[in-house]
Amino acid sequence: MNMDPSKAKVPPMKDLTIDNITENTIRINSQSSDARLTYVLERLVTHMHDFARETRLSTKEWMVAIQFLTAVGQICSDVRQEFILLSDILGLSLLVDSIDHPKPAHSTEGSVLGPFHSHEAEDMAHGDAMSHDPNGEPCLVICTIKDSHGNPIPDVKIDIWETDSSGHYDVQYADREGPDGRCVIRSDQDGNFWFKAIKPVPYPIPHDGPVGKLLEKLHRHPFRPAHMHFMFEKPGYDHLITALYVRGDPYETSDAVFGVKNSLLVDFHPADKMVAKEYDVAVGSAVLEHDFVLVSEKEASDLRAEKSRKALEALGRKVKLIEGLPVPDVD
Amino acid sequence: MNMDPSKAKVPPMKDLTIDNITENTIRINSQSSDARLTYVLERLVTHMHDFARETRLSTKEWMVAIQFLTAVGQICSDVRQEFILLSDILGLSLLVDSIDHPKPAHSTEGSVLGPFHSHEAEDMAHGDAMSHDPNGEPCLVICTIKDSHGNPIPDVKIDIWETDSSGHYDVQYADREGPDGRCVIRSDQDGNFWFKAIKPVPYPIPHDGPVGKLLEKLHRHPFRPAHMHFMFEKPGYDHLITALYVRGDPYETSDAVFGVKNSLLVDFHPADKMVAKEYDVAVGSAVLEHDFVLVSEKEASDLRAEKSRKALEALGRKVKLIEGLPVPDVD
């Protein structure tokens, strides 16, 4: 750490005011050689300061915010991520996913990751049951994965997770014995995968903590419509985090975390004799079929770069991409 | 909590994108009758989303931020406030103080509160010693408090706190027995107060946590120039949080938390015989004399309202003040 003030390449800083604190903070934050870090901090400080100036934020309100953020941090644990929840209910999570994973027409849209993905899910074979909740309504899920040219994609790693029939993820139970309601599965040579689960139910996001109190102050309900999470990974393809939403859910148009998209709404239909026999399920039991379309890394990064360029040009700055992320081009 | 979606006064929300997520998040956050909360959230969401759009924030960077904020929250304790530290090094604390406590010419300027004020300081009589560090260089501090018309203000409650000679506040010692280096004192009938302390030394803010790591990444040193904190309270007067800075400190122009102002720089002089006798100190020992000027609540609130009005008008919004804080006037 450079602790020698004589080596600081910044001008003397004294008498900082409402009007000059921002440029000076940006200047003192611009000493590293990491152009991306410098740019991100520049925008962060600009927006944080403008927020305070435009609201005329009071010391009392600032202290409420300090205490709120502290409480959000303190309630986090190995199995609870309240900052992700906060980002989710403020629309930031959905926004970041949309920016980082732009989708060409006809590819599967993204949705929010949420705070309940876990890395302890077990590998499963096609046809296995990922949920063992006896109170859940059984369902069969049959999917395909294709690229944007319609070719099947084999050997994609798929993370799937959902709540039990009471609307809780496994990690929300202090006394759980192991993972349930989640699995990792791989697509076969024809880009297919299928598994048994339970029909998703709507549920409230955890609202016994600071984020729940904020929702209450804002007169917002904490519910998410019934959905099942999916995450797709394969080298050469853009990472896809999404979810399928049960059409007609009472919270379909007021999801607490803004995840619902028309293209992600799905319907269950009853299994006919052929499906029942092929997949070893009861005739008439619920079946969901869905086709996912992944975009290649190149398609995604080209689209991302194009949108980055436009966004920075709109800010009046020439852009340069470093590892795919924009920084102002000062040369 | 309103959990009935049929009662939500917001339009259906689905298919949210980079371009419409902000207005929709603002809309769902606008259901409470608290106009100030609605306005603060509107600006918060706007700036947070613009920040993500302008940086093209990646999912990976977002996750780094989530983990950083979580670590900041988790290191907080009864005696450590890392979020205040974060606000301090980003210039937000200085800015909020400047907004909330505008100062007319010739009144004492404010400075940052910092994370080390504590409510366990003991009441002290004039002339008492607030620091018992045998390694500190003793000093005598003699002050007056006047209003903006030059009249002395009696019975002001003054909180004073400083580090020991090694640059640590009492609360930073796990094994401390009680408060030291801090006190509460009251001005006498002529607006005077005086006490014994030690000459302040420069010190690094706590940099073994996430904020220290951020400073390191930014190639910033964590030092504050030598200073002594003061906080003034009396009904009818604007709350004043400030500090006096020792002129000529090596960190005078690069304070890690942006607190230094020319008007707050002070010099020590050696006690002459008269002072030595009157205050029971050694001839030649260090003396600091300073005159503070408090503004009345009315002066401060008038100035605050005027500046609020201008700031909101610059945003193109008519303003209404609720309990002194601005909200857009939509009537």
Domain shared by A191 and A257, yes or no: yes
Handedness of CA B235, B237, B243, B245 (dihedral sign): negative
Domain shared by A181 and A195, yes or no: yes
Owning domain of residue B258? 105-295
Domain shared by A269 and A313, yes or no: no
Q: Where are the alpha helices (DSSP H) in B56-166?
A: 59-75, 82-89, 92-100
Is residue A71 in some structural domain? no
Query: To the nearest whole angstrom, how far is the Cα of A136 from the nearest Cα of chain B?
Result: 23
Using the Cβ of B10 and the Cβ atoms of chain A, whether some distance falls under 8 Å is answered with: yes
C-alpha dist (Å) from residue B231 to B84, B142, B224, B241, B243: 17, 16, 18, 4, 8
Token output for A318: 């020439």
Interface contacts A/B by beta carbons within 8 Å: 302
Domain shared by B33 and B109, yes or no: no
Is residue B183 in some structural domain? yes
Q: Which residues of A touch B16 (CB under 8 A)?
A: 91, 94, 258, 261
Q: Where are the alpha helices (DSSP H) in chain B?
A: 21-28, 35-55, 59-75, 82-89, 92-100, 210-217, 273-279, 297-314
Highest mean pLDDT among A9-18, A211-220, B315-324: A211-220
Is residue A7 in some structural domain? yes
Domain shared by A286 and A315, yes or no: no
Domain shared by A249 and A223, yes or no: yes
Per the CB < 8 A criterion, the answer to whether B154 and B118 are in contact is no
CB spacing of A2 vs B218 below 8 angstroms:
no
Of A21, A24, A95, the CB nearest to B21: A95
Using the Cβ of B327 and the Cβ atoms of chain A, whether some distance falls under 8 Å is answered with: no
Domain shared by A162 and A280, yes or no: yes
Domain shared by A188 and A241, yes or no: yes
CB spacing of B221 vs A57 below 8 angstroms:
no
User: What is the model's pLDDT at position A78?
Assistant: 87
User: What is the model's pLDDT at position B10?
Assistant: 72
Query: To the nearest whole angstrom, how far is the Cα of B180 from the nearest Cα of chain A?
Result: 25
| Chain A interface disruption, residue of B3, B37, B55, most A CBs within 10 A | B55
Dihedral pair phi/psi, residue A135, rounded to 5°: -90, -5
Domain shared by A7 and A152, yes or no: no
ipTM value greater than 0.90 = yes
Is residue A74 in some structural domain? no
pLDDT at B127 over 90: yes
Count, residues in chain A: 331
Is residue B88 in some structural domain? no
Q: Which residues of B touch A100 (CB under 8 A)?
A: 56-59
- Per residue in B182-201, pLDDT (tens digit) is 999 999 999 999 999 999 99
Domain shared by A304 and A290, yes or no: no
Token output for A26: 């940006």
- Per residue in A163-196, pLDDT (tens digit) is 999 999 999 998 888 899 999 999 999 999 999 9
- Give the chain B residue whose CA is nearest to the CA of A305: B56
Query: To the nearest whole angstrom, how far is the Cα of B128 from the nearest Cα of chain A?
Result: 31
Is residue A76 in some structural domain? no
CATH code of residue B166:
2.60.130.10
Domain shared by B135 and B260, yes or no: yes
Quickly state the pLDDT bin for B3 (edges 50, 70, 90). very low
Token output for B262: 């020319």
Using the Cβ of A92 and the Cβ atoms of chain B, whether some distance falls under 8 Å is answered with: yes
Domain boundary pick from A42, A57, A72: A57
User: What is the model's pLDDT at position A83?
Assistant: 97
Is residue A214 in some structural domain? yes
Query: To the nearest whole angstrom, how far is the Cα of A25 from the nearest Cα of chain B?
Result: 6
